[in-house]
Every structure is written in structure tokens, then in C-alpha cells.
Amino acid sequence: MSTADLLIEIGTEELPPKFLNTLSNDFKGLIEAELQQAKLSFDACEVFAAPRRFGLLIKGLMDQQADYVNEKRGPAVSAGMKDGEPTKALLGFARGCGVDVSELQTVATDKGEWFAYTETISGQKTVDLVPQMLLHALNKLPIAKRMRWESNEFEFVRPVRWIVLLYGNDVIETEIMGVTSGRTTRGHRFHSEGSLTINAPSDYEALLLNDGKVMANFNDRKAAIVAQVEKATAQYGQAIMLPALLDEVTALVEWPVVLVGQFEEHFLDVPQEALISTMQDNQKYFPIVDKDGKLTRYFCFVSNIESENPQEVISGNERVIRPRFSDADFFWNSDKKIPLADYLPRLATTIFQTQLGSQKDKTDRVGALSAVIARSIGADVAITAQAASLYKSDLLSNMVQEFPELQGTMGRYYALEQGLDARTAHALEQVYWPKFAGDRLPESKEAQALAIAERLDTIVGIFAIGQIPTGSRDPYSLRRAALGILRISIEKEIDLDLKDLINVAFMNLPQALQKDDVEEKVLNYILERMKAYTAELGIAHDTFESISALDLNNPLDILRRLRAITAFRTTDAAHSLIQSNKRISNILTKNLKDQAAMTVDAALLQEDAEKALFAAISFIEPALKDAMQAHDYVATLSHLSTLAAPLDQFFTETMVMCDDLAVRENRLHLLNLIRQYFKNMADLSLLQDI
């Protein structure tokens, strides 16, 4: 059996740039799955993706499937033959196999002898299988919105203009979406004329690069852009290349040429975030900053054309950016004259959510909740209150109306411009931190109190109106809000009583929305997010379950316990104590009626082992209480670990369920006392053994 390379290229009109990389990689995965299902092995699969094409080079692909033996089992011999004649069941089986009864075999199994038919199936040729595989893969691509073009009945993300399908040096002939496959591709829309003929799959990439002026490999093209940007901007500073924007720009060009432009110095008086935002979001430019991160008057962009007059291209891009910067300059100079407090009456007429009221209602609720949090964490209550009253004001400014992503950032600028306390100004921006996974957290206690309150009010309110997030729908980004609360609490080491704070937020809602089960649902929702958060930190699932059984609601305290248990599980005593806790739990669940009974009568202790166990728990009791009160869970588990040997001895030498009722109850109380000391820390009986 021989192998050859397979080349697939789907040529289209310009593909959506934000979708290109995902589209091509999804296509790769689907084709690989088709080949695997067909049992066609290959050596490697290289993916290509450019604005007008995506495709694959599959190296060392088998030229046909291997032959295989197919065995069909029929009726038992005892049911297939009667008095030397085949029964209807056997005749039907033979007919279904397309053979005479005489061609059937018998096979012996541990359940008896059966009729069977064995045939060798010849493997199909790869060239016969590929067209259907390709069609399946294209149809399965997760495309949110497909389109039709011209008079075709076919639908795809963009009109398909050509298809290359080569196995070895030969074309696999087929028609897909009204296009007949062949060996001709097309180069750059402006730098290449006519079609390019591909003689062999291995020629594809070099042919496009040299004759077509197309860098077909997405990652190579991206690396080329980065290298050009770094070289072009070295004398001006450093370009800000956000990963998502870099991917988008890579998907916009076939032949990247990096150029540097500039704008007038006076525009730098505008907050740099506004200029950076319009350069990145509207123009797909890379802003250039100095070594201190301050924006310079230079920017770079990636052209898809290698112009004979690059200065003309640069001038054109400079002209495009100028009106946008002029708008930002106007917004800044007009907005900063309006005190943030002057926006408050308009906030009262701006809806946050129909059932939850206006943006002013929202800030009032957040203000009340943030005051409670501020007092509990030692933040300045007055500063927190001022920030809470103003943090939505910049929503109504011209700048934020034009650039919504600058909400909070512009609030900080306006507050500083208007002479407000710097702590207030920074809280207006940091209330929205973190904005995404891994983002920075609010720095001051005032900002932390406000950020927690803002998120918690949103979660409680949305739960109260019944719009609880589902697997695919979370329009108010409650998952992100919950994770933000957890990260601020844990990473800034803030002790929060979530249950109490949820109750405060709940009581701030309109009375009509105060339903009985809302608070419990919100608490469970946030703790479920914590389960996912701690899993990313490497905390085992059963370790989390051992803590969640305690009904705790302080995220920082929960994580401290989880880390202590994770470390404890690596100690010598862990195995013994986990097993002992499981045994204690089973015994008490079945035999102890009063789960609160923990009084041990020393006079009823008869065996040396139970006396030793009682002495051991009595000895560490003061230190245990001190460690728990100090939230020193490593020390707590260290003290509890001294019970490993006494517990092992107790279970080896003592019959808990003895005949003497008083002694039996006393032993159950002793075990319950020990269990409660463990459960003050965690329920070790829920841990899987190690």
C-alpha cells in the first residue's frame, strides 16, 4: 500500500477576518476526523489560511483503506437446522448475506455453536472517499451565518470561487457548491495576474509565495508582521500589538507590508486611551508608545499592497485617522467642563433594566451595599460613597457614547480634571476591573468595595427577575461578575461573608422582587463558580467537595482551607485519617440517633485504645481551637494528624457496637466528638483515598 500527499484549497471571496483562523482550524479538525473514521492514516496535516482561501496539506496519506474481514453472526445451530433441514431463520440469514446456506460457517463460543458468514471487504480508494469527506467537513463547519450568492442554492460563509483537490500529482474530480475541482489556484488580488497551476501538493506554498505574492500559512504571516513591526517601529518606541488585533490584521492581508504614520502633536492632549481605542478598533492600527507606556504621535499599520509609492499609502492612512482624532478632541474638551454630578438627573431617566429601574436606582443600591463592604474591610466610607454615586455618570458623556469601551476610564479623567479626590477618580475606573480573565484587580480598598458591590447587586437583581444564566446564554455576564468577586476577595485577601452581603443586596431590591429562594440560588451560583476557579488553580474536585459540605461562604477562607487540605494529602498521615473518617462517618450515620451528642464519660472508657484516643483528642483540643480561631488550617491539620495512630489502634482493638448500651453510646459520642473537630476544618470522609 502506497502513500501520497493530499492538497485541499477552498478559494473564496474575502473571509471574515475575526473568523478565519478558527474556521481553518475547525476545518482541519473535521477533515482529520473524517480520515480517522475511514481508517486512512497520514503522517502530518498542515493548515493554510489567508483572506481568500483556507486549506490543508495532508502528508503521507494512504492511497486506500486496508481490506477488512466482516463477520455476521446468525442463529444458533440448534435453531438453524431441524431434522437436517435449514429453518426459516437460517434461510433468512443466508438470504440477507446474499449467499446460499452451504456457504455459511459455524463458530463455537462459550454460549454454544452459531451460524456465521465471513467475507473480506476490499478497502475503498482514497480518491473515491475524499469528495464526500470534504463535503461533510464543509457542511459541519460551525458557521454562525451562511450566505447564498448569485443564482446558487448553496450556502457558505462567503462565495466559493475555486477548489483545488490534488492527491499526488492527480486531480480528484468533483463538484462542490457549484465549483468543479482542479489544480489551479489564484494569487494576490492585485500583485498576481491569472491562475497558478499546481503540479504537486508539495509545490503549493512556495508557488503562492513566489509567483502569487500570497503567504498562505497564517502563523508564518503573523510572524512576518511581528518582525516587520518591530523593525519599522524601533526608532519610535514599541508598538502595542494586542493578540486579537494581531490575528485580525493577519487575516486581512495576503502580502503584509508594514508602514509607519504619524499625527499632529496636539492630539496627544486627548486621553491616550481614546486615541488608542480608535486606532485599534476602527482602523486596525498598532499604536506606538515610549518606554514609559506613554503614547507617541506615531502608529504603524499593515498594508496588503507593496506600493511603488509607500508615502502615498501612509498619507492616506494619516488622513483617515485625523477626523476621528478631531472628534475625540472635541468630546474631551466639551465633556470635561461638565461636573460628573450634573449627570445624575439624567441617570434617573436612563434605564438599567426595566424591572430593576434606572441607572440612578442602580447606583443607589450599589452605594448602600458598598458602604457595608467598605466598613467591613477598612475602606474610607465617604470616598466609597462618592465614587458609588458618580461611577455611572460618564456613561452619558459624549466620549463614552462614542467609545463605550472607555466607560470608567473617562470617569477617572473627568474626576481628576474636576479636582475630585484621586481615590474617588481611580475607583470610578477600577470598579470595572477585572474586565476579563487574568485582568488586573482594583488597587484601593474603596475601589475593591465598589467593584464587589457593583457585581453582587447585578447578580442578585438578575436572579430576582428570573433571568438566571444557562449554559449558552448569559446576557448580563454574571459568570464574569461572580468570578470578579471571587478574584478580588481571594487575591486581595479580603474576608467576605457572602451570605450576609447577598442579604443586604437582596433587601435593597424593590419589594416585589424579594422572593424566598433568590438568596440561596445566588450563593450557590457564586460558589459553583468558585469550584471552577479553584479547579484552574489545581485544586482537586473531591478536595473542594470536602469543604463545600461545611456550608461556608467566605471565599478567602475556603481557599485557605483548600490549600491546607491539598498539602495535607501529601503527608504520611493522610491515608490513615481519610480511611478513619470514612469509617467514623459510616458508623455514626447508621448508629447515632442524636448527631449533636459529643459528651464523653471518662468513667465509661474501658479499653486502653479508647482511653488513649480520648487522651489524644483532649491533649490537642486547646491548640486546635487556637489554630481554628487564627484560621491557621495548616496547623489545624497538623494537630489532627496526631490522631492517626490512636484512631488506627482504636479501630483495631475496640468494638464500638458492644453489648453494653452505655459503653456503646459513649464510644459513639467519642467518635462524634472527633468527627466534629475534623468537620470544623473539612469533611475528610469525602476525599478519595490516595
Please write the tens of the pLDDT for every residue from 636-684.
999 999 999 999 999 999 999 999 999 999 999 999 999 999 999 999 9
Q: What is the mean pLDDT of residues 37-53?
A: 97
Tell me the pTM.
0.83
How crowded is residue 623: how many other Cβ atoms within 10 Å of its Cβ? Answer: 14
Q: Write down how long the chain is.
A: 690
Residue 112 pLDDT: 86
pLDDT in tens, 423-453: 999 999 999 999 998 999 999 999 999 999 9
Distance CA 15, CA 161 (A): 12
Degrees, nearest 5: CA angle 516-517-523: 130
- Tell me: the pLDDT tens digits for 185-196? 999 999 998 899
Report whether 456 contacts 373 (CB < 8 A): no
User: Which DSSP string do the residues of 157-190 spell out, in sequence order?
Assistant: SS-EEEEEEEETTEE---EETTEE-BSEEE--TT
The CA distance from 416 to 429, in Å, is: 12
Supply the pLDDT for residue 596: 78
Q: So what's the pLDDT on residue 593?
A: 81
Lowest-pLDDT range, 152-156, 276-280, 461-465?
152-156
Pairing of strands 53-62, 44-50: antiparallel
Say what the pLDDT of residue 55 is.
98
pLDDT digits (tens, 9 = 90+) for 541-562: 999 999 998 989 999 999 999 9
* Helix, coil or strand: residue 119: strand
CATH number of 562-686: 1.10.730.10
The yes or no reply on domain 342-537 and CATH 3.40.50 is no
Burial 224-233 (b: 16+ CB within 10 A, else e): bbbebbeebb
Q: Do β-strands 184-186 and 195-197 pair in parallel, antiparallel, or remain unpaired?
A: antiparallel
Mean pLDDT for 69-80 is 84
Measured between alpha carbons, how far is 50 from 20 in angstroms, rounded to an integer? 8
**Which tens digit of pLDDT belongs to each residue from 215-254?**
999 999 999 999 999 999 999 999 999 999 999 999 999 9
Find the range with the poorest average confidence among 7-11, 182-186, 595-599: 595-599
- Separation of alpha carbons 78 and 675, rounded Å: 63
Q: Which three cell numbers stand for residue 72?
A: 455476521
Mean pLDDT of 8-15: 98
| Residue 475 DSSP class | T
Write down the pLDDT at residue 690: 59
The string of DSSP letters for 338-405 reads S-GGGGHHHHTTSEEETTTEEHHHHHHHHHHHHHHHHHHHT--HHHHHHHHHHTTGGGGSHHHHH-GG
**Residues 32-41, mean pLDDT to the nearest whole number:** 95
